[in-house]
């Protein structure tokens, strides 16, 4: 356990002892101990904040995972250690993988064997107003007292945290496709360089690199690439779960329900933000990004319809390099329209949309050979965004991952009611600032293309 976490635990224990010492000589000594701990913690926190200014991605690019300190492994690195790819089914499977990747074996005296057992301990702490605090609980960092419902609480044990996030990322059709960049525990954001390229015209590629065919002894105009800064500032996603007295008595059932519920909620809210987050207090979503291309409807097209030309025009606006990775994200309300689409060929024709197991004889629905994913995040039929063509490798998600997730993921009670809270620190945005003007032609291209309102 790190020094600062040990001090926070000691501070919590000292504060809990103060009420029982009121009116005695020992109260002054205990109060002085609290002040000393607060001062030391404050100094360490300021040191961490200075270190955070040097924020950089954690993990080593091509470094062998086995060579990385287990406590520093990211979710992606742990996931890559799965000896049975695609075989993980439930929380217990993910927990086993997390413990293997973190080289973590819970010791009965100092760690919890199940997530439900830890939640029970947290409940007892708050129900007893701090008089029954399990020594295995570790207080989370907070800038305010526990009366502040947005701060404080206790850290989720690192193996439980890793398992919850791995399960959330694997369940999500969007989270499993975006690019991910974990950052260090001390950082609350990161700045990374991006090529400032908005046009493929000569002299604009890579933001300003140009080439010339020249004869011998002929000089050329110097050029250089242009970069922009892409800044990520971690946002806070808070998920809550109310529970009953009966469920609190059964740690096995509590583990099963809480782990699945929190994983699914983290997945849903993060994916919805990736899709259409406003960027203020949450990630910037694709639908709100300046890099999104919105393809207009056909002249005379009826409301709430989808025609072949809509799909053709969207595909033509997709950046060529993204075509091999792009996926169609579509609201299920559009299915009858897709099923009715066809292309005339002489006196016959062919279908445009290929349903799974039907004419395509593949396990996925496809358009232009690219997978169709049905989501709840797309707008309903006839509204902008009911169909989105996106290459999610061009979307960057930044979070405190791996063990570092535990430093920003904690559980607490909002009130005296029986409710648990999980906090997740994350940010994300498209890596493109605007659509790209091609070398020849006037129609801009982008990895993100949506169909306009009809």
In a structure prediction context, what are the per-residue pLDDT tens digits for the chain, which is 454 residues long?
A: 345 666 777 787 788 788 888 888 888 888 888 888 888 877 876 765 565 444 444 444 444 555 566 766 777 778 778 877 667 888 999 999 989 988 888 887 889 999 999 999 988 888 888 888 899 988 876 544 333 444 567 888 889 988 988 888 888 899 989 998 877 666 778 887 776 777 777 767 766 666 767 777 666 666 666 667 788 998 988 888 888 878 888 999 999 999 999 999 999 999 999 999 999 999 999 999 999 999 999 999 999 999 999 999 999 999 999 999 999 999 999 999 988 876 654 554 556 666 655 544 455 688 888 999 999 999 999 999 999 999 999 999 998 753 322 334 567 666 556 788 888 889 999 999 999 988 888 899 999 999 999 9
Residue 38 lies in a domain: yes
Number of domains, the chain: 2
Residue 266 lies in a domain: no
Q: What is this structure's pTM? A: 0.73
Task: Give the CATH number for residue 323.
Answer: 3.30.2320
pLDDT in tens, 140-149: 765 443 334 4
Contacting residues for 43 by C-beta, under 8 A, at least 6 apart: none
Residue 173 lies in a domain: no
Task: Give the end of a domain, one of 36, 54, 72.
Answer: 54
pLDDT of residue 275: 97
What is the C-alpha separation between 227 and 192, in angstroms, rounded?
10
Residue 387 lies in a domain: yes
Residue 317 lies in a domain: yes
Boundaries of domain holding 391: 290-397+440-451
Region of residue 93 (phi > 0: left; psi between -120 and 50: alpha; otherwise: beta): alpha
Residue 269 lies in a domain: no
Residue 384 lies in a domain: yes
Residue 151 lies in a domain: no
In 3-state terms, the chain is what percent helix, strand and coil (to 5)? 35, 20, 45
pLDDT of residue 2: 46
CB 377 within 8 A of CB 275: yes
């Amino acid at each position: 356990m790190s020094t600062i976490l040990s001090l926070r635990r000691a501070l919590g224990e000292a504060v809990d002892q103060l009420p029982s010492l009121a009116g005695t000589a020992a109260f002054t000594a205990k109060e002085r101990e609290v002040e000393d701990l607060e001062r030391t913690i404050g100094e360490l926190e300021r040191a961490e904040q200075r270190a955070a200014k040097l924020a950089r991605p954690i993990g080593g690019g091509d470094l062998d995972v086995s060579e990385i300190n287990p406590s520093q492994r990211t979710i992606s690195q742990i996931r890559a250690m799965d000896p049975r790819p695609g075989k993980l089914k439930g929380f217990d499977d993910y927990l086993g993988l997390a413990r293997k990747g973190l080289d973590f074996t819970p010791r009965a005296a100092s760690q919890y064997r199940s997530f439900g057992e830890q939640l029970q301990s947290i409940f007892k702490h708050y129900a007893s107003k701090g008089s029954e605090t399990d020594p295995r609980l570790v207080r989370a960092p907070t800038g305010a007292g526990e009366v502040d419902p947005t701060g404080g609480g206790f850290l989720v044990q690192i193996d439980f945290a890793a398992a919850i996030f791995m399960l959330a990322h694997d369940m999500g059709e969007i989270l499993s496709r975006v690019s991910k960049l974990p950052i260090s525990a001390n950082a609350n954001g990161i700045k990374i360089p991006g090529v400032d390229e908005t046009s493929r015209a000569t002299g604009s590629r890579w933001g300003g690199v140009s080439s010339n065919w020249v004869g011998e002894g002929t000089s050329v105009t110097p050029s250089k690439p242009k970069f922009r800064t892409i800044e990520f500032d971690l946002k806070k996603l808070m998920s809550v779960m109310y529970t009953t007295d009966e469920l609190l008595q059964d740690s096995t059932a509590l583990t099963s329900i809480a782990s699945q519920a929190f994983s699914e909620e983290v997945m849903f809210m993060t994916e919805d933000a990736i899709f259409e987050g406003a960027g203020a207090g949450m990630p910037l979503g694709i639908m709100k990004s300046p890099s999104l291309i919105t393809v207009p409807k056909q002249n005379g097209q009826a409301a709430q319809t989808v025609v072949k030309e809509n799909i053709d025009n969207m595909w033509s606006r997709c950046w060529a390099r993204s075509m091999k990775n792009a996926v169609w994200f579509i609201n299920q309300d559009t299915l009858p329209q897709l099923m009715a689409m066809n292309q005339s060929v002489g006196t016959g024709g062919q279908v445009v949309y290929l349903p799974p197991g039907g004419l395509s004889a593949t396990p996925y629905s496809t358009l232009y050979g690219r997978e169709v994913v049905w989501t709840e995040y797309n707008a309903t039929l006839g509204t902008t965004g009911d169909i989105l063509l996106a290459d999610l490798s061009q979307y960057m998600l930044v979070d405190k991952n791996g063990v570092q997730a535990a430093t920003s993921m904690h559980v607490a009670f909002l009130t005296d009611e029986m409710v648990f809270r999980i906090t997740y620190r994350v940010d994300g945005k498209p890596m493109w600032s605007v659509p790209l003007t091609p070398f020849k032609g006037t129609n801009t291209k982008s990895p993100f293309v949506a169909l306009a309102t009809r």
